[in-house]
Amino acid sequence: MSQEKTNYFDLVYQVVREIPKGRVTSYGTIANYLGLKSGARMVGYAMNAAHTMPDVPAQRVVNRQGILTGKHHFETPTKMQELLEAEGVRVENDKVIDFEKIFWDPEKELGF
């Protein structure tokens, strides 16, 4: 893996660690915050690599519609939902309920 990817992943992980329990954000929102408007896929790659890192709450990152698209990268296909529900996030049919209400935007919460 290149140094650039490693550094980008580290930046992604820093943002994800700031997402409070019971809140979620999207891959694209993190990419925008980090200055890569088309970098949602890179954030996804970072999240796929983060599942062995207990200090990175990857379950809190979903797609722009609130769908648990990363669920297959957890130990079991239901683990992502279980982790979110343990934090009080409601999920039905692999989609976060009240997505807009619990959405966390790093630009608003963290600033620049």
Q: DSSP assignment of 34-82, as one string?
A: TT-TT-HHHHHHHHHHHTT-TTS-GGGEE-TTSB-TTGGGSSSTTHHHH
Residue 92, in any domain of the structure: yes
Instruction: Give the integer Cα–Cα distance in Å for 39 and 12.
Output: 11
- Residue 111, domain member (yes or no): no
Whether 38 is in a domain gets the answer yes
Total domains present in the chain: 1
Look at residue 109 and tell me if it is in a domain: no
- For every one of its 112 residues, what pLDDT tens digit does the chain have, with 9 covering 90 and above? 445 555 889 999 999 999 999 999 999 999 999 998 678 989 999 999 887 788 999 999 999 999 999 998 898 999 999 999 999 999 999 999 999 999 999 999 887 5
Q: In angstroms, rounded to a whole number, what is the distance separating the alpha carbons of residues 82 and 84?
A: 5
| 58 domain residue, yes or no | yes
Range of the domain at 41: 3-103
Residue 50 within a domain: yes
Q: Name the DSSP class of 19.
A: S
**Does 59 map to a domain?**
yes
Q: What is the pTM of this model?
A: 0.89
pLDDT of residue 5: 53
Q: What is the CATH number of the domain that holds 46?
A: 1.10.10.10
**Is the residue at 112 inside a domain?**
no
